[in-house]
């Protein structure tokens, strides 16, 4: 007997049907939130979500503070995907939580279309910025069917009533590439990839303007990761929402992001257009990350670039090195790096790409 279920995740690559009916089913007065057609990708889009000078610290015992995020500024425009990469403890998830309003930054602001989001966001403001979590096993309530998860949101936010709820649920299923009968299922009956689609449907149900996805494919099997990435790319094209994708995986960022920000020990060390970052990195840490990433088709020797590899590991955020936080591990470091912190400045001068390195004008 050829097994029954395995066809589900396959719904994706072809793209769900009904392209046009997909999104604008919400109440009409929300039209600013959701441009109906795909955005023109070429025009310089308005900044949609802007974070300025975010600082977050946590008490670390003995009167110490752990500085998780320091002076981080980011922006994402309509239809744009911003990738935030870095290793564990670099503060990337903390940034995601600040953007989504789950965590109040110690200082700094997050604003949406120019409006500063206060310490306590309104329901509307929460609706506008949605978060997709890493683990679709722990982020879905096991006792609620998919339909009840979605319907609750739609009714609570006044986005649909009566029969419209069911119609909208079906649209959402089509949008994320799940069959209609998935609505009756509970999280336990779905695979990891399907659960992540449900989590995405939940985020999209409230017609957000920005989706912040924190490591959305890290817990999935290799063979379904590509399908979820394709779904994100497709949604961005069709719905024109802004996306912030948090990941430790450079390959993921290179595949679907328009711009990328690299974080190290709570600060952005480099930010710019994707190809600038990946083909002409100006911060030694970005270079090191690119060298260290395992590759399927690299040069002849298997353990390549040994000499260029970083020594040591990221220091604890409670014991941050002076000057440039990266200097103890940096192959390019000079005495100035230990004393003077480099500002995040355009590299080369006049460029939109910025790097926080004293030697940002050097290429390789």
Partner 1 sequence: MSVGRGERRLLAVRDVSLKVAAGGSLGVVGESGSGKSLTLRALMGLLPPGVRVDHGTVELAGEQLPFTGDAARRLRRGRLAMVFQDPLSSLDPVYTVGAQVAEVPRRVLGASASASRIRAVELLRMVGMPDPEQRAHAFPHQLSGGMRQRVLIAMALASEPKVLLCDEPTTALDVTVQAQVLELLDDLRRRLGVAVVFVSHDLAVVRQVADDLAVMYTGRVIETGPTKEVLERPAHPYTLGLLEAVVDLDDMGQPPRAIPGALPDLAHVPSGCPFHPRCRFATDDCALSDPGFRYLGDGDADRGTACKYPERVMAG
Judged by the rule CB under 8 A, the positions of this chain that interact with partner 1 are 1-10, 12-13, 87-88, 191-194, 217, 221-227, 229-230, 233, 248-252, 254-255, 278, 288-298, 302-303, 306, 309-314
Structure tokens at 252: 């993921």
Least distance CB 273 / partner 1 (angstroms): 14
**Of 96, 90, 98, 134, whose CA–CA distance to 286 is shortest?**
90
Count each helix (H run) and each strand (E run) in the chain, helices first.
Answer: 10, 12
User: In the complex with partner 1, which residue's Cβ is closer, 52 or 280?
Assistant: 280
User: In the complex with partner 1, which residue's Cβ is closer, 226 or 345?
Assistant: 226
| Burial (Cβ within 10 Å: 0-12, 13-18, ≥19) of residue 27 | middle
Least distance CB 285 / partner 1 (angstroms): 9
User: Which residue(s) pair with 130 in the sheet?
Assistant: 211
User: In the complex with partner 1, which residue's Cβ is closer, 106 or 314?
Assistant: 314
User: In the complex with partner 1, which residue's Cβ is closer, 296 or 349?
Assistant: 296
User: In the complex with partner 1, which residue's Cβ is closer, 44 or 294?
Assistant: 294
Least distance CB 230 / partner 1 (angstroms): 7
Least distance CB 77 / partner 1 (angstroms): 22
User: In the complex with partner 1, which residue's Cβ is closer, 275 or 361?
Assistant: 275
Per-residue CA distances from 266 to 37, 202, 216, 240, 320 (Å): 37, 30, 21, 29, 10
Least distance CB 296 / partner 1 (angstroms): 5
Structure tokens at 162: 């009566």
Q: What is the Rg, in whole angstroms, of the alpha carbon atoms belonging to the chain?
A: 21
Least distance CB 180 / partner 1 (angstroms): 18
Contact 95, 69 (CB under 8 A): yes
What single-letter DSSP state applies at residue 11?
A: G
């Amino acid at each position: 007997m050829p097994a029954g279920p395995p066809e589900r995740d396959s719904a994706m690559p072809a793209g769900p049907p009904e392209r046009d009916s997909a999104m604008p089913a919400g109440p009409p007065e929300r039209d600013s939130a959701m441009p109906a057609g795909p955005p023109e990708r070429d025009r310089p889009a308005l900044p949609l979500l802007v974070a300025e000078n975010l600082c977050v610290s946590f008490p670390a015992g003995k009167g110490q503070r752990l500085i998780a995020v320091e002076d981080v500024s980011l922006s994402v425009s309509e239809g744009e995907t911003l990738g935030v990469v870095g290793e564990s403890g670099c503060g990337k998830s903390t940034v995601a939580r600040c953007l989504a309003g789950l965590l109040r930054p110690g200082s700094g602001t997050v604003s949406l279309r120019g409006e500063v989001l206060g310490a306590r966001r309104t329901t509307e403001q929460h609706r506008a910025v949605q978060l997709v979590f890493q683990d679709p096993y722990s982020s879905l309530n096991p006792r609620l069917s998919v339909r009840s998860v979605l319907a609750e949101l739609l009714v609570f936010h006044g986005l649909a009533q009566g029969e419209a709820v069911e119609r909208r649920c079906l649209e959402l299923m089509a949008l994320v590439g799940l069959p209609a009968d998935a609505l009756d299922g509970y999280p336990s009956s779905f695979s990891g990839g399907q659960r992540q689609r449900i989590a995405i449907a939940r985020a999209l149900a409230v017609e957000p303007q920005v989706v912040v996805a924190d490591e959305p494919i890290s817990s999935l099997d290799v063979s379904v990761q590509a399908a979820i990435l394709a779904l994100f790319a497709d949604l961005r094209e069709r719905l024109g929402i802004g996306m912030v994708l948090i990941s430790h995986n450079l390959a993921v960022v290179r595949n679907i992001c328009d711009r990328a920000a690299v974080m190290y020990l709570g600060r952005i060390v480099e930010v710019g257009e994707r190809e600038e970052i990946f083909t002409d990195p100006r911060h030694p840490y970005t270079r090191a990350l690119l060298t260290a990433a395992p590759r399927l088709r690299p040069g002849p020797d298997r353990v390549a670039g040994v000499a260029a590899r970083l020594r040591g590991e990221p220091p604890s955020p409670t014991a941050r090195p002076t000057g440039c936080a990266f200097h103890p591990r940096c192959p390019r470091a000079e005495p100035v790096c230990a004393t003077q912190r480099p500002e995040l400045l355009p590299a080369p001068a006049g460029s939109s790409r910025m790097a926080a390195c004293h030697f940002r004008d050097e290429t390789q």
